[in-house]
Every structure is written in C-alpha cells, then in structure tokens.
Chain A
Amino acid sequence: MKKFLIFSLIFVFLVTQAAAITWTWENHSTITHWLVQVTEDESDCGGSTTVKTVPVTILHTKDIADISDFGHGKMTGSYKDDILTMQPRTIKDGQGNSKLSKIALKFTPDCLRFSGRYSWDYIDSSGTCSGVTTLRADRTDSKSCPESKQPSEADESTTADPEKKYKDILAKDPTNFWANWDMAELKKNEKKYDEYLKYVDAATKNENIFKETGEKLKQRAATSLHLSEFPSPTSSPILRYEMDELDDWPGGYVNNVLVPKEQVNNKEAWYRKWWAIKKEKAYQIIRDLASAENKNE
C-alpha cells in the first residue's frame, strides 16, 4: 500500500510537471486583463519621473499579442517562450514624434505578472530629448495561466459528423462564414479541390467577417515580418509588382486548386481569396484570429 501511494504521488507530480513545462503563451488564443504600473522618467525632457496605473487588455492569438494603450499607443508583439517582444517604432506623440526602442516584456511562469523597460527619443520643433519607461503589471482576471482554446459553434460536433453539421448550418444560412471556412478545410483534407474552392469562394465573399479579420491579418503579418508600418502597392515597388501579377494572372493551379480567372469587382476580396488558397496555414491562422476576437465580444 505504501509503495502504491508513493508511486501515485510520483505519477501525479510528473503529470503536473509535464503540463507546466508544455504550457506556453504561444499555444493559446485568449484575452487577459492587467493593471500596469507605468513609471516614466522624463527628467531629460524638462519633466520629472511620474508613476501611473493603467488597466490594459492583451488579445493573445497564439504567438501574436495585441496590447491596449498604456501610454505609447496600442502595440502588437510576438511571443517567444515567456517574452513578448515589440519591435522599435516611431509614433505620433503630442506635438512631435517618439521613437520607441525594442520592448521586451517578461512574463512570470505563473502568468500573473510581467515587466519590461524601454527607452524613447522624443522629437518636436523645439528639439529632442530622451526618456525611459518601466512597466510592472499584475493580472486582474485570473489567478492562473489561461486554459486551452474553447471550441467554437462550428466545432461543436467534431466528434460526430462535422460535414453534416456544416451542411445543416449552410442550409439555413448559405453565407455563414465559419461553416463555409470549416467545410473548405474538410474538403481540402479530402483532396476534393473543386469543392474546396466552392466553399473558400463563399467564405471569402462574406465581407463582414473576412474584412474584419483581414485587418487583423495585416497586423499579424506586420508583426511577424517585423514591419512597423503596413507597406502598400503605392509605397512598395515589390508589393506593386505582386499586385500587378495577381491582377494580370489568367488563372491556374494554386496548391492543386484550379482557380479560374475572375472578373474582379472587389480586388481586395480577390487578393484575400488568393492568399487563403496559397497560404498553407491559412485555415488555422484565420481560426486563431477569430477565436481571440470572439472572446473579446
């Protein structure tokens, strides 16, 4: 009996340790709330050191996180283990601009605190000065690390017949974005590419959801590519080249899907559709973005 108890305790200990080791922010999509103490040293700018407490929300989408404004505007960063990094950027700041250094926020293993420090250079018509901002945050919405992602409405019957579930939804609402999007992924996995295209078409024509998620997609792309500003076909010759290529494309195969040439009235929707077919992880990326958005409602 004694041996059984000892082995049971060891087993439980190992299981909990394994769970602790494998948990990372990068694997979760959720919303967290924090109270952030912001200490700003403006002494070089003719000011003093000020301390204020700001409520902050973080929208986690796997390795990408959107942080609400704690003093230098909303930011988006990327996770690597317990460190959330925002790339250097320049923002409008009052009458001038502030050039922020790279910001690295270190989260505690229990997911209840984070801290970080960054410098900034302020420039306006009267001159320049520099300062430092220190952040210390405490979690306010929970006493533990976030749970795994909750299943969404279209996922409810994954153990039953998902195709039937999606078809039932589409019978009542043919434009339902998630049923079309999930059905597309199902057909892609079955290598039924004609049907896949039909559902991708329907999903990407849903202006409401795909357009909103499109904005999140841009933010996510900017963060993962370390771009502080969105490039555009006007500002970037290579992006212009890509746009011209897609506009002039006569149709053809993309990832085994025969995509016909379209009469494009809505170019943005066409580019999004092309991206959805070309990008291998498009399904999961959109799912993760929307999962985090749903929790924000």
Chain B
Amino acid sequence: MNKINILTIIGLLFIAGCIPQHPDPYYAQNTASCTTKDCFISAANDCNDLTMTLTEKAGVIQYSSSKDCTFTKTMISLDAKETQEMKTLLEGKSLTCRYERGKFDRKWVNSLLLGTENCEGQLKDILVDLVAFL
C-alpha cells in the first residue's frame, strides 16, 4: 500500500471521526438544542437547559426547560387570522410546570389544554377560560 493510499485512509478516518454519531441534535456539541418536539421532550426529561420555538396551528410557541426541572411554554404570536383582541389576550403569556427528572409530561408540549393541572401561569387560565366559547 503506497503513501497516498495510507494518507487517503487516514483522511477518511479523520473525516468519519468528525461526523456526529448521533443524528439527534440534542447531543450536539454537549449543548442541548432541538428542532422537534420529541427531541425537546427527551432533553427536558433530563432537565436540560434549552429553548425551542415552533410554528404550529395555534401560533408560534416557545418551549423552554431548565436545569432546575422547570418547563415554560410561551405563546409568542398567534395566527394572523386571529383578532387583535385575541392576540393581545394571548401573545406573550406563559405557563410554568415543575417536575422531577425523568417525569416530564409529554402533554405539556403536545397539547394546549391537557396535563396543566399542576402548572401555573396566565396562559393556563386563559386557555381553559376560552373553552367556554366552544
């Protein structure tokens, strides 16, 4: 095997070593970061510090978790079709839920109404009050 082949093999091994082994961005660079709900739920379950913002049917929602196992959901903005009053009512409002490591409730991310019994915040109360209009 000549030098070029050896160098090529070493180069390929070096490149392979630099490719992240985990497709889940949660573990990238030892800093939690997510772009999907499943990733966020997994990271939050470990009480990692991270924030994720998603555009959903209900609007743009920010999800945060912290090292002290606190989850925060914030309504950043509503759909453009909402009235200004609804936007004023909901935009910027948040709810907070405390949990134990390993016991993060998926419903906090996957639902607007469910699982918030032990959470606090204006967003929680407003979302329940809005059910009166159904």
Contact = CB atoms under 8 A, between A and B. Distances in A.
A245 B130 contact: no
Contacts of A240: 57
A268 B111 CA distance: 20
Contacts of B83: 229, 231, 235-236
Interface string A210-252: 0000100110110011111111110111111111011001001
A217 B111 CA distance: 24
Contact of A278 (B57, B126, B128, B134): B128
A191 interface: no
A238 to B, nearest CB: 5
Interface stretch (B40-48, B62-70, B74-82): B74-82
Interface string B94-115: 0000000000000000011110
Contact of A241 (B86, B88, B112, B132): B112
A238 B58 contact: yes
A238 B132 contact: no
A248 to B, nearest CB: 10
- Listed from nearest, the 9 A-B pairs whose CB atoms lie closest are A271-B134, A237-B79, A221-B132, A241-B58, A275-B131, A238-B58, A217-B132, A221-B129, A227-B85
17 contacts: A220-B132, A221-B129, A221-B133, A224-B129, A225-B89, A235-B81, A236-B83, A237-B59, A239-B133, A242-B127, A242-B131, A243-B134, A246-B131, A249-B114, A255-B117, A268-B134, A275-B131
Given A241-B112, A242-B112, A242-B127, A227 B86 contact: yes
B119 interface: no
A254 interface: yes
Contacts of A274: 131
B90 interface: yes
B117 to A, nearest CB: 5
Contacts of B86: 227, 231, 236, 238
Contacts of B131: 242, 246, 271, 274-275, 278
Interface of B: 57-59, 78-79, 81-83, 85-86, 88-90, 111-114, 117, 126-134
A140 B103 CA distance: 60
B117 A245 contact: no
Given A228-B85, A239-B134, A245 B57 contact: no
A279 interface: yes
A226 B82 CA distance: 15
A245 B126 CA distance: 16
B112 A237 contact: no
A199 to B, nearest CB: 20
Contacts of A267: 134
A interface SS class? helix
B132 A275 contact: yes
Contacts of A241: 57-58, 112
A242 B85 contact: no
A237 B117 contact: no
A243 B134 CA distance: 7
Contacts of A225: 89, 126, 129-130
Interface centre among A214, A218, A225, A268 (most CB of B within 10 A): A225
Contacts of B78: 237-238
Interface in A64-84: none
Contact of B82 (A224, A236, A243, A252): A236
Contacts of B88: 226
A89 B105 CA distance: 40
B129 to A, nearest CB: 5
B79 A278 contact: no
A239 B133 CA distance: 8
A243 B132 CA distance: 11
Given A242-B131, A275-B128, A279-B128, A237 B113 contact: no
